[in-house]
Chain A
Amino acid sequence: MAWTRKLLRVNLTNGTVAEEGLNMGWANDYLGQRGLATRYLVDEIDPQCDPLGPDNKLIMATGPLTGTNASTAGRYSVICKSPLTGAVACSNSGGFIGAEMKMAGWDMVIFEGKAASPVYLHIVDGVAKLEPADDLWGKSVWEADKALHAKFQDPQTRIALVGRSAEQGCLYAAVVNDLHRAAGRSGVGTVMASKNLKAVAIRGTQGVGNIEDPKKFMETVKAGKAVLAENAVTGQGLPTYGTQVLMNVINEVGALPTRNMREVQFEGASKVSGEAMHEPRKSDGKKNLTTNGACFSCTIACGRISTIDRTHFSVKDKPEYWINSGGLEYEAAWALGPDTGVDDMDALTYANFLCNEDGMDPISFGSTVAAAMELYEIGAITDSHTGGMELKFGSAEALCWAAEKVAKGEGFGKDLGLGSKKLCEKYGHPELSMTVKGQEFPAYDPRGMQGMGLAYATSNRGACHLRGYTAASEILGIPEKTDPLHTEGKPGLVKAFQDATAAVDSSGLCVFTTFAWTLDDIAPQVDAACEGDWSPDRMLEVGERIWNMERDFNMKAGIAASEDTLPKRLLSESANSGPAKDRVCDLDKMLPEYYAARGWSSDGSITSETRQKFNLPG
């Protein structure tokens, strides 16, 4: 059990809500959350549909462990076809709304069609209603969240929303929940806004039960928590520095993409690092970091709660930003910092606040600004486009200005909202877009980390670190150390990470646990909670099935295997400093072996044997 076995189907065109039983046959094959919701998506939409049209669907889904007291068991995912990539989008978020959905008695909510005018969905336990949201449209996530909480008079209601960037069509808009957690990548917020759906507000008081073997579950959960507490990364590094523990480490190994990935080391890295967030400021003696905050049920608590220096140019006349809110995590800090060449911590924190306030994916936003800065440097973008703003690498003013413009969809912010790929195409230099399948890179340079290059090239949602985090092995030695500069063994490593991650993303647990946990720690918790036998091997099989299903969808959507590649810069312009100096990413040495390990043909297509083995849908 552990599943509630119920889903809510919301037809926005007709304004109807209906309860449905969860397809337990599919739950057996795909577990929950990422896997199960994608199975529904694959079944219900045409892969070639317009991502921003009424035929696309948007699914919010929990995993079987979501809402339990297993550590990190508060995750949910938002699944749809992506407007940024045209591929399957599946973005994962923590905070509290996933657990609240489960507490209200729902495994997932499927949104279909498009509302004639703005609406929000209000769920209180078994009762769900669509309500008008005309008064919320045009408001930021933070403003609309405040207005809804005031209306409900209930601080315990959990709310996920889209901001103004999504309303204005920014292609990398996020769905933000609990003010500063986000289903961030691939433009899932853009799809939500395209349906005129402003918010989903949930109050759940029914609780989560249905644990198959409660005694065994408590034992496995307790054992799991002990492993996390004793591990150096999850027990010390992440609580103290958050994911920002990586900034100096990745810079030192020469894999910190800098200035639109022209370089691999940033001279200002230490100024925007996790360690720097602990340094008292000159102006008021306070640190950037106030405290660490946890998502539901998480015993790691990597979340950063930060403030901006009140005397900083970005906020000195804006007391509304003199508050604590979600601070910099590593990917955001990198995209807003090293990739744009900006080393001003307060500017980064301000831009990060705006990404939360108006729902932009900070990775795609920062990377797109970086591309725009390079286009400006070569004269393809000029002051006439920007209205006079000098979009120079290293300009904190330009970064903050860009965040304000994209947040509201104003002026040049419309162009920046296109994402790096379409921006670079529009200004005549597609080669300057650091993307795979239209999605911007995160914070690991494939020249200094060969495995990540293959992981990016083959990720089912475009460039992404969370689809196969071989950095764990290549840098941190988890589960065992591999040489980041060598390609040997990487295809198998990438596949193993991709499959295991797909399973974790389908369970309700956070992938950050895998700094300490293997499937040998995770499977027993799933096994105790759920009916049936959930061994580590079965989890891996489920993960591989999910991976193949996602790939199959993408190919049907028209994304050819030839897009399993990297920008030319990473394949032919070698790193200019650090341990990876003179290296490029040797993708061609890894890709054929990867296809073979996947049981795909040499042209990257899924063979009929593999299709049969995993019983892939139609």
Chain B
Amino acid sequence: MQKSLHIDPGKCTGCLQCESACSLENEGLFNPAKSRIKVFTFHEEGRFVPYTCTQCDEAWCMQACPVDAITLNPENGSKDVNADVCVGCKVCTIACPFGTINYNASTGKVVKCDLCGGDPQCAESCPTGAITYIDSDATGLDKMRAWASKTDNAGA
């Protein structure tokens, strides 16, 4: 079963536990500035939205890379950057429609979410269930259930 990160912004409180966990896993430090997942706060609307790579099948970043530094991880479906091959040209950052692959000036390479090799720490650390790692084929199930519960079939 392939799994995907599933994000429910309505449950997010903006605590940044996910950013701390991501940066610890990937950079060895608590450093939200270097996190692959970002929580955006829309203060005046009272909304918090975590956002990260969704691991597209036809990944724009992977297609655009001129040196094939981005490859499919067949085990969990993530598109991983091979830092040894990456030349830091940033073409992938232009190609990605979502902005979820980014250049790291201190290393001269790009970085993106690699699902922590199949154990994404953002989901692990999220205290509210806003970020979960679930069956890719069933990411809509909770929403379906919620709407189904509101369906009135009394008149049927």
Residues of A with Cβ closer than 8 Å to B? 67-69, 71, 96, 99, 103, 156, 179, 204-209, 225, 229, 239, 290-299, 301, 303, 305-307, 323-325
Contacts and interface: CB of A to CB of B under 8 A. Distances in A.
Nearest to A179: B43
Given A293-B46, A298-B13, A323-B45, 11 more contacts: A99-B32, A208-B30, A225-B127, A294-B14, A295-B15, A299-B127, A301-B15, A301-B127, A307-B46, A323-B43, A324-B44
A298 B126 CA distance: 10
A469 to B, nearest CB: 23
Given A207-B23, A225-B127, A291-B46, A296 B31 contact: no
B114 to A, nearest CB: 19
Interface in B97-154: 125, 127-128
Nearest to A324: B46
A325 B43 CA distance: 7
A206 B31 contact: yes
Instruction: Determine which residue in B15, B33, B128 has the highest number of CB atoms from chain A within 10 A of its CB, and name it.
Output: B15
B31 A298 contact: no
Contact of A294 (B15, B32, B45): B15
B16 A297 contact: yes
Contacts of B34: 205, 207
Given A69-B125, A225-B127, A297-B17, A324 B31 contact: no
A605 B10 CA distance: 54
A539 to B, nearest CB: 22
A297 B13 contact: no
A229 B127 contact: yes
Interface of B: 10, 13-17, 20-21, 23-24, 27-34, 43-48, 125, 127-128
B14 A207 contact: no
Contacts of A209: 28-30
Q: Which 9 A-B pairs have the closest CB atoms?
A: A207-B31, A324-B46, A207-B29, A294-B15, A290-B46, A299-B127, A205-B33, A301-B13, A294-B13
Given A207-B27, A225-B127, A103 B15 contact: no
A479 to B, nearest CB: 23
A103 B33 contact: yes
A295 to B, nearest CB: 7
Contacts of B33: 103, 156, 204-205, 207
Contacts of B21: 69
B127 A103 contact: no
Contact of B31 (A205, A229, A293, A323): A205
Contact of A298 (B15, B23, B30, B125): B15
Contacts of B14: 293-294
A368 B17 CA distance: 39
Contacts of B48: 291, 293
Given A291-B46, A323-B44, A297 B20 contact: yes
Contacts of B127: 71, 225, 229, 299, 301
B91 to A, nearest CB: 24
Contacts of A305: 46
Nearest to A303: B13
A58 B14 CA distance: 29
Contacts of B43: 179, 323-325
Contact of B45 (A68, A99, A299, A324): A324
16 contacts: A69-B24, A69-B125, A204-B33, A206-B31, A207-B29, A207-B30, A209-B30, A291-B13, A294-B15, A295-B15, A296-B16, A298-B13, A301-B15, A305-B46, A323-B43, A324-B46
Nearest to A290: B46
Contacts of A306: 46
Contact of A103 (B10, B13, B17, B32): B32
A290 B47 CA distance: 9
A292 B13 contact: yes
A258 to B, nearest CB: 31
A206 B15 CA distance: 19
A299 to B, nearest CB: 4
A489 to B, nearest CB: 36
A190 B14 CA distance: 30
Contacts of B27: 207
B113 to A, nearest CB: 18
A96 B17 CA distance: 12
A69 B44 contact: no
Nearest to B15: A294
Instruction: Determine which residue in A68, A297, A303 has the highest number of CB atoms from chain B within 10 A of its CB, and name it.
Output: A297
B31 A69 contact: no
A296 B127 CA distance: 13
A294 B13 CA distance: 5
B11 to A, nearest CB: 9
Nearest to A218: B24
B46 A69 contact: no
Nearest to A96: B16
B128 A69 contact: no
A103 B31 contact: yes
Contact of B20 (A69, A291, A292, A307): A69
B50 to A, nearest CB: 12
Contacts of B13: 239, 291-294, 298, 301, 303
